[in-house]
Each structure stands twice: as C-alpha cells, then as structure tokens.
Amino acid sequence: MRDQQIYKRLHYGESEFRYDLLRNEWVIVAKECGKRPQDFFDNKFIIEKDSDVDVLELLESDDASEIDTLVYKDKKQGWTTKVFENKYPMLIDKSLINDVSEGPFPAFSASGVHEIVVKNNGEKPFADMEIVEIAEIIDAYQDRYLSLMKDKNIKSISIFHNHGESAGGSINHPHSQIIALPIIASSVERELIASERYMQKNKINLFDTMRDYEMQVKKRVVYENEDYVLYCPFASRKAFSMRIVPKKTNAYFERITDIEKLSLADVLREGINVLNKGLNSPDYNFYLHTAPCDGQEYEYYSYFLDIYPKTQVYAGFEMATDMDIVPISPEDSASFLKEFVVESE
C-alpha cells in the first residue's frame, strides 16, 4: 500500500489544500487528477460517464485487496455492501501533512482518506432500494465514520452521493463516497459560526427553531415520519432542493441508533422518489453535514442531509455575488412534490 501511495504521488503529483485569504475558505488543488491543459479543450473538463467502468471491478484491484475492507454479508446473496479505498483518491495518506505555503498564502498537502461505499445489487439506484438496503448503507456510513474519527489527524468527514452524469456520477454502479479531512470544511465552519451565534443571542438551538416552525406551518414540508422531517428550506439555494433533519436535535450523526437509521432510510428514499416522479428522474446529489470530529463540543449544531436535484445552471450573477436565484418558491416546490408522496403510499 505504501509503495502504491508513493507511485500515485510521483505519477499525479501531490494535491494541496490552499487557503483563500479573501474568501476565508479552503480549496483543493487536485493535482492527482492528472489533468493536462489540453484536457480542457472543447469542454473536456466535464466529467464523462464511462460505461465500460464498473465500480465493482475496483474491488478486484491490487489496491482494494490490501486495505481493511468493511463487508456486510447475507447467507443467500453473499456480500451485500462493501466499503473500500477509492482507486483514484483525491487525498492520499492522512499521516503526511506537509506545509507547502507560499509567501502570504497558507497551504499544505491534501492528505486524508477517500473511500467508496457500494451495494451488490446490480445498478439499482437509491429510489428502487428497499428501506433495509438503504439503512445498511447508512450503517456503513456510521461504521466508517466511527473508525476514521479515531485518527488524530482527521478533523471532519464528508459523506456524499452523486447520481447521474451532471451530478458527477461518472461510473454506472451507484455508490457513495466518504472523504476524511484534516480540516473542517468551509461550509460546515460557516454553519457552526451561525449556529453558535444564534444560540448565544436567542438561548435556543437554531435547528430546533427552524424545524419546529416548518412542522408548525407545514407549507414547505414534503414528508415526515416518527424521527425525521423532509422539507424545502425557506431560503433554498436550488429549485426543489430538500433537507432532512432529525426531530430530536443531535449534532453527531455517528451517534444515531439502528431505529433512526431505518427512519432516515425511509425519508431519504421518499425524497428521491418524489423527485423521480415529479421531475422525471433528474440527476442529483445528496450530502451529509455533521459536527466535526475534532474533540470539541457542538451542542448548538445538528446533523442534516441535503438533497440537490440538478435543475439549474450556476451562471454569472450567482458566481459574481454568491447569491443564488431560485426560479420557483420553496412553498410551490414542496406543494408540488408532496403530491407524489400520496401517490407512492
């Protein structure tokens, strides 16, 4: 494994975390993607879906055979879910964090862990899975989170899923990704600051306030069960985007129970189902935000899961102002999507 990591560094070059002093956020310069200037001609920078590559084939690679792979098994089916190291990771070797700052600009080597979560169910997408199948994936998320957070170099862990070409899904077999970082992602950092300020000013958790109001007025709620509520946020950043929040506020996803995993699987599947039925199966991303694993307390925060269908193009105004234009109100989005929950019952 060590030799393979050294080979990747020599072949692709070491990626870097670079800090934007003006915007107060981190970026990754992904040298390990191995892109050349000519690769960007004729829009070649757009991810192309490779029909000849199946994520299951990566399990047979030399890389996969040398790591500690998490495997779920069934007596009839054999293995059902596996977690393994990404053969083409954005980050390599969490133990090597080298300062590569330049002049006034902070930077260090983009070290960390990049893993894949995959089910042995053909190319069945989340919307077609049974609730127990999705719950097993969520259990794998939790298992790997608990393992990765033990490393003192890991400060936060990103869990996400890309479905479809325009959402970055570049291979056929549906899979999720887990990336363990030696920093707190800038988006989570902003949420932590806002949540802490709200708590200090109002003496109540911001997530409690938002969730309780949404459940009271109902006009943006799409679906709920005993443990979670799915709604279109009041200030949605994209058309038909949805958020899943726990009814019992909890900053730490890794602490959820088995019952909560089944409930979360139910709400996640319903959210994707209403998008498929209402918007003709759009490409989408979903991602999990949870409190960092840096040893600090974040009781003013809550984990949540956002679902983003690919319904818009990010254009000049949005880039210039960092202000999204949403062409349909979250209220109308929720009202529309809710109709398909009734049909699916």
Q: What is the mean pLDDT of residues 153-180?
A: 86
Q: Is 155 left (phi over 0), alpha (psi -120 to 50) or beta?
A: alpha
CB atoms within 10 A of CB 31: 14
% helix / strand / coil in the chain, to the nearest 5?
40, 25, 40
pLDDT tens for each residue of 276-327: 999 999 999 999 999 999 999 999 999 999 999 998 887 888 888 888 899 9
Going by pLDDT thresholds of 50, 70 and 90, the confidence category of residue 254 is very high
Angle (CA) 64 68 72, round 5°: 90
Ordered by start, the domain boundaries in the chain are: 2-186, 202-344
The whole-number pLDDT of residue 55 equals: 57
pLDDT tens for each residue of 192-220: 999 999 999 999 999 999 999 999 999 99
Going by pLDDT thresholds of 50, 70 and 90, the confidence category of residue 255 is very high
110 vs 160: which has the higher pLDDT: 160
Is the pLDDT confidence value at 180 over 90? yes
Same fold, 2-186 and 202-344: yes
For the chain, the average pLDDT equals: 85
Domain boundaries 2-186, CATH class: alpha beta
Is the pLDDT confidence value at 7 over 90? no
User: Among 151, 175, 152, 135, which Cα is nearest to 266's?
Assistant: 135
Alpha carbon distance 113, 7 (integer Å): 17
Is the pLDDT confidence value at 135 over 60? yes
CB atoms within 10 A of CB 89: 23
pLDDT tens for each residue of 83-104: 988 877 788 766 667 888 999 9
- Please provide the CATH number assigned to the domain covering 202-344: 3.30.428.10
